[in-house]
Structure 1
Amino acid sequence: MRVSHSQQKRRRRHRTNRLMFGLNLGFFAGLIFGVGRWIVYYLQYTRVVPGFLIDSFFRISFLKTGWGQLLGLGSFIVFSIVATFLYMFLLGRFKGPWAGLIYGAVWWGGLFLVIGPLLGLVEPIRQIGYNTLSTELAVFLIWGLFIGYTYAFEFHDEASREPMMSGVGRAGAR
């Protein structure tokens, strides 16, 4: 099947800028799920403060204030931007939701089971509680799914690059 010159031109025009897409995706992933983490903290489903990523730099009493929680949201946004670019370079070739789910689970495991307790960002696993662990796992799974599936949909969805077929399906729908 030969591709006409006009179809090639349309495909070239539809190139997404990966840098800007990664920045936008990371920003909105951080904003949406940072606010989500704040909500589950406010509703006491988790005991981990929203600013746990910057716990080494600020006192916990400050991170529990409004300004500290806002700074925590900002740190989660920056973390999500970095994590998005890392996903793009490591797992960007995978299609579908599974890579994103695994990516979120790996981040959760690293932050809550390995690095977090070592650096004092979160309490050790035996002290943190099952409610906190399961809530944070759910948030990080959905966060990873959001990043992975959004990226896969943008860069692996060929249907959006196909030309619209005029008239096909319209007559039968009426």
Structure 2
Amino acid sequence: MSENKQLEHNKPENTMSLLSRSLLTGFIGGILWSTIAIFLYYFNFVEVSPKSFVLRSWLKTDWTDSWLGDLVSIIIIGLLSIVTAIIYYGLLKKVKTMWISVVYGIILWGIVFYLLQPIYTNIPKLVELNTNSIVTSLCLFILYGTFIGYSISYDYHDTQVEQL
């Protein structure tokens, strides 16, 4: 066997497609950043817990205030995060700059805290939140958007280079 064929034979195959890696990135991003958001809530950096959005707006039971409510909300946010990854993958994966990911996080923050606020009846309006909550949650969403967006874009461009 020639040396080139030997090298190709020893090269590990990429078992996951770019889309499936993007979905996994979305899920992991949701899990990671919602866990950090819960810690920020417990340490009083933000007034609103992630479980207030995904659980407490619809369920008024005791278990939603416990660690089980936190765990369920982290998993739900991880699953919802797959949708944000699909949107980024479909619209922005070819963009090479990190700044579009930052803007994506800001847009997501605006959607959650401004556009969807009427759905969350137990969440204070944006103007009623203190400055620390607004700044911390905005920074958290920027980091979340950057994690999802830049990871997907980097993976897309890395895959393009490998195929050349």
**TM-score (norm: length of structure 1):** 0.77
The residue that corresponds to 1:49 in the other structure is 49
May I ask how many residue pairs the two structures share in their alignment? 157
Deviation at 1:162, TM superposition (A): 8.2
Q: Which has the larger radius of gyration?
A: 1
Equivalent in the alignment of 1:76: 77
Q: Secondary structure at the match of 2:116?
A: helix
TM-score between both structures, scaled by the size of structure 2: 0.81
Partner Cα distance (1:135, 1:62) in 2: 27
Q: How does 1:75-94 map to 2 (within 5 A)?
A: 75-94=76-95
Distance 1:123 1:77, change over 3 A: same
Within a 5 Å distance, the mapping from 1:52-131 to structure 2 comes to 52-59=53-60, 62-120=63-121, 122-131=123-132
Letter in 2 for 1:33: W
Do the aligned partners of residues 158 and 92 (structure 1) sit closer, same or farther apart at CA in structure 2, a change above 3 Å counting?
Answer: closer
Q: Is the 8 A contact 2:105 2:146 kept in 1?
A: yes
Contiguous gaps of at least 5 residues in structure 1: 1-12, 164-174
More relative contact order, 1 or 2 (CA 8 Å, 6+ apart): 2
The two structures, once aligned, show a CA RMSD in angstroms of 3.0
Code of the residue aligned with 1:46 in structure 2: it is V
Shift of 1:57: 2.2
> Residues 4-44 of structure 1: CA distance to partner in whole angstroms, max 9, x if unpaired?
xxxxxxxxx66850332122101110111011111101111
Does the CA-based 8 Å contact 1:54-1:75 persist in structure 2? no
Quote the residue 1:26 is aligned against: 26
SS of residue paired to 1:157: helix
**CA–CA distance in 2 between the matches of 1:127 and 1:61?**
26
Q: Which runs of 5+ in 2 are unaligned?
A: 1-12
Q: Which runs of 4+ in 1 moved over 6 A?
A: none
